[in-house]
Amino acid sequence: MNRLSGKTAVITGGATGIGRAAAKRFIEEGAFVFIFGRRQAALDAALAELGSNARAINGSVSELADLDRLYAAVKAERGTVDIVFANAGAGSQLPLGEITAEHLDDIFDTNVKGLIFTVQKALPLMSHGGSIVLTGSSAGTTGAPAFSAYSASKAAVRNLARSWAEDLKGTGIRVNVLSPGPTATELAVQAIGEEGMNIFASLNPLKRMADPAEIGAVAAFLASQDSSFMTASEVAVDGGLAQI
């Protein structure tokens, strides 16, 4: 398939997990992809897999100067951006009564502040037909014990898409949310461990975790013109976890 032929995409959190799987799928469908992440070794490993139609920029979405470097590199090589997949995320467990300011800052700086500026700083390079995809989560709908800060940050992402669809009226730029359920990524394992992942997997009707490639496939759909009449929407790719 060549649904993304000639398109330029930016994927934050693109070195591993869902971001890397999406980058691979975007390239397979014809896109040129810039992946952005904090770990140089992971970026290098991703580039070795993704090949000549990928570039990697090291940085954090919570650092505005890093985002400026990202988009300067995109502008210098490609001129414009067609697709922004704001996928970088952070999450850890602390129950009510133990939540700290540092815990909140870590999660909201990445999941909300970082996402906002990832999108806002891309807008000058985007034009009619552009697609913005935000990574939400089933936790933004259902909540989870000891995950209130993370769940709240993902509920905020859902509302950002609704508000931004209004802000983007007349531009031809669409914005949608992709909300995965339990997915077998490094970040998820670090956040809740293998035991926690198995527990979450047992709660959905399909009784398994998603492969990152399954989420990447839906990201490609939202990035393409196959979803041309969708904006302000949320697509749940969660095995039914938040749907029943």
Q: Is 143 exposed, middle or buried (0-12, 13-18, 19+ CB in 10 A)?
A: middle
Angle made by CA atoms 92, 93, 95, in degrees to the nearest 5:
150
Question: What DSSP state is assigned to residue 98?
Answer: S
Residue 192's Cβ-side half-sphere holds a number of Cα atoms within 13 Å equal to 19
Q: Is 71 a catalytic residue?
A: no
C-alpha dihedral (41, 4, 71, 86), degrees to nearest 10: -70
Q: Indicate which residue of 24, 154, 169, 207 is catalytic.
A: 154
State both tokens at 212.
């990152």
- Is 150 catalytic? The answer is yes
Selecting among 24, 71, 121, 150, the annotated active-site residue is 150
Any idea which residues carry the catalytic annotation? 150, 154
